[in-house]
Amino acid sequence: MHDTKVSAGPTLTIRRTFAAPRARVFAAWTDIDMLRQWFPPEGRLVAADWDPREGGAYRFTLMFPSGEEWAVKGVFSEVRAPERLAFTFRWEEDDPAQELDTFITVELIDKGTETEMIFSQEGFRDETSRDKHIGGWTMGFDNIDRMLATYS
């Protein structure tokens, strides 16, 4: 039996190496106190329900410097410490018919004192939507770099 996954839209893939052990990078994704330090890339989380286990759900409300609030939610399909996470990612819209699940996977590869992360988000409506996420995720991963440096 083969595990086949079909993507209905453009995919975003970001590779990043962090100067931290894999367990620490995994914690950056699963520990709510650490997550609050890097996500969102700018602004802050004003509400967070976070249950990182297979079948667990999450919902965040983000407040940006402009005062604008956005909410995102999803469900974890895989949590394999310290190497892999997989979950849906859905921005809440004023019109729920406009909401769309994308699917995120985070692979963490042990490189001794460093960890290579392969982040993939697939199923965007179109390339424009995908491209809007590149800057946000890149800033968030810059924040992870800074946060992990404080734990060394």
Full-model pTM: 0.91
Retrieve residue 54's tokens.
């297979």
Contacts 24+ apart (CB under 8 A), 123-130: 123/7, 123/8, 123/9, 123/11, 124/9, 124/10, 124/11, 124/12, 124/100, 125/9, 125/100, 126/9, 126/10, 127/10, 129/9, 129/10, 130/9, 130/10, 130/11, 130/12
In DSSP notation, 60-88 reads EEEE-TTS-EEEEEEEEEEEETTTEEEEE
The tens-digit pLDDT sequence of the chain (152 residues) is 334 344 457 999 999 999 999 999 999 999 999 999 999 888 889 999 999 999 999 999 999 899 999 999 999 999 999 999 999 999 999 888 888 999 999 999 999 999 999 999 999 999 999 999 999 999 999 999 999 998 75
Q: What architecture is the 11-42+80-150 domain classified under in CATH? A: 2-Layer Sandwich (3.30)
Domain ranges of the chain: 11-42+80-150
Whether 98 and 83 have beta carbons less than 8 Å apart is answered as: no
